[in-house]
Amino acid sequence: MAERESWSKNLRCPICGLEGVARMSHVDDLSKQFDLKTIVDECPSGFLLREDEDDSNIYRFFCAADNVSADQ
């Protein structure tokens, strides 16, 4: 049976100092190990979420006010 793996990512804007925690997950299913899709369960207020241009399974977080990367 597939289990859901989840984790958190700390976010911080290097300009304004806004901080937050994003929560993500994916189904840990070995029969579909090459078809895992990361799901963003929660994007904190004040941050924007964008898919990576080269890989739609990678997300980048940005400060909404300053439009800069907030990934740590």
Residue 72 lies in a domain: no
d(CA 37, CA 5): 11
Residue 21 lies in a domain: yes
Residue 18 lies in a domain: yes
Residue 70 lies in a domain: no
Q: Is the pLDDT of residue 43 over 80?
A: yes
pLDDT tens digit sequence for 18-42: 999 999 998 766 555 566 678 889 9
The amino acid occupying position 69 is S
pLDDT tens digit sequence for 2-22: 677 899 999 999 999 999 999
Residue 35 lies in a domain: yes
Residue 22 lies in a domain: yes
How many domains is the chain built from? 1
Global pTM?
0.78
Residue 71 lies in a domain: no
Burial of 66 (0-12, 13-18, 19+ CB in 10 A): middle
- Determine the structural domain holding residue 14 and report its residue range: 3-63
d(CA 33, CA 52): 20
